[in-house]
Amino acid sequence: MCTRCGRPQQAGAGHCTACGAVLPEAPLPPGAGPSTAAGPFLSAHLSGGRVLVGEGNRLSFRPGASATPFLLELPSLRRLALVQRPRYEALALSAVALLVLPFVPLVVVRELLGLLALAGGALALSGRRYTLVLESAGQVETRWDLGAVQRGSPLEQRLRAAWLTLADVVRSRGVEVSEPSSRESTPRA
């Protein structure tokens, strides 16, 4: 039983499948051990308190430290893709600075606005935003925002390692897996 949300859990699960809280120690039923199919195959702690957990036939994603996790049953999964894109939000900073630039008479302020525009462009190019796209058998598409990371950072390496693990597991279950793309949307099969 989860002490945080009160939902019943499997013995020895480690984390609550509903809220992700750490479960108290419980004896395992005879014959059950860490090598069973219900065991965890993925646990990735990402930026902003996001957590992606794969356990047994279930994939859960908690979008924030205090958020309720989303659950997906792997047998219902038809397609999986990881989408990456530059952080376009940082370009808004550059756009505003460039729009205001011609209307500012002071040279010092113009220089600062020019630097601000360059900084926004550098931020957009230095990082990526990752989204996990899941399509169920009923052709319902769900997008889980895995967050923005700096290129080449340890967090990006951890996210990519989690993707490789998840892709291998679901591919072995017959799910169509699209490799990471740099486009906003992935092509449909």
Strand partners, 118: none
The CATH number for 40-86+126-181, chosen from 1.20.58.390, 1.10.3720.10, 3.40.50.720, 2.30.29.30, is: 2.30.29.30
Q: Where are any strands of DSSP class E within the chain?
A: 40-45, 51-55, 58-62, 70-73, 77-86, 127-136, 141-150, 176-181
Q: Which residues contact 130 (CB under 8 A, 6 or more apart)?
A: 82, 83, 84, 145, 146, 147, 148, 149, 159
pLDDT band for 19, please (50, 70, 90 cuts). Answer: confident
In eight-state DSSP terms, residue 15 is B
At 117-161, the pLDDT tens digits run 888 888 888 888 899 999 988 888 999 999 888 888 999 999 999
pLDDT band at 10 (very low <50, low <70, confident <90, very high): low
- Residue 171 is classified by DSSP as H
Question: Is the pLDDT score of 186 beyond 70?
Answer: no
Examine the pLDDT at 74 and tell me if it is beyond 80.
yes
Looking at the predicted structure, is the pLDDT value of residue 63 above 60? yes
Domain boundaries, the chain: 40-86+126-181, 89-125
pTM: predicted TM-score of the whole model, two decimal places: 0.63
Contact 15, 3 (CB under 8 A): no
Q: Residue 38 above 60 pLDDT?
A: no
Give me the pLDDT at residue 40, please: 83
The residue behind tokens 């993925």 is 42
**For residues 3 and 186, which has the higher predicted lDDT (pLDDT)?**
3
* Cross-sheet strand order for the sheet of 70-73: 40-45, 51-55, 58-62, 70-73
Average pLDDT, the chain: 80
Q: Which of 44, 20, 17 is nearest to 163 (CA)?
A: 44
21 vs 128, residue with greater confidence = 128
